[in-house]
Amino acid sequence: MRELTYTDAAREGLAEEMARDPMIFVVGEGIGSRGGNFNTTVGLHAIYGDMRLRDTPISERGFTGLCTGAAVLGARPVVDFMFLDFELDALGEIINQTSRLRWMSN
């Protein structure tokens, strides 16, 4: 049986799904040509480019909202948060906006 780190397994799974579905894109800080702070997207930028790996500024709530809107329109966004505490910051967007989107718009 092949042994992989969690990061390698996540990257392989993401690459496999991105090859299968052109509607999948990834957003996060440093995930472009740099490959992510923990090498989570190494090599994917060379294959899929800027359109499917969007390097973002430090604005977790902003890109979480972007992904919410993209998902509503049929895309399959993947958010790459650098650290758990940044994810917790974006939780406000998920709880206060995403969960109520159905009732705030038609």
Q: Residue 33: what pLDDT?
A: 85
Given a cut of 80, whether residue 103 has pLDDT beyond it is yes
Domain range 6-104, CATH architecture: 3-Layer(aba) Sandwich (3.40)
Mean pLDDT of all residues in 36-52 = 91
The reported pLDDT for the residue numbered 16 is 97
Which carries the bigger pLDDT value, residue 67 or residue 97?
67
Q: What is the pLDDT of residue 32?
A: 86
Domain coordinates in residue numbering, the chain: 6-104
Q: The tokens of 66 are what?
A: 């972007």
The pLDDT value recorded for residue 104 is 82
Average pLDDT over residues 73-93: 91
Q: Which CA distances in Å does 18 have to 29, 44, 61, 68?
A: 19, 9, 24, 18
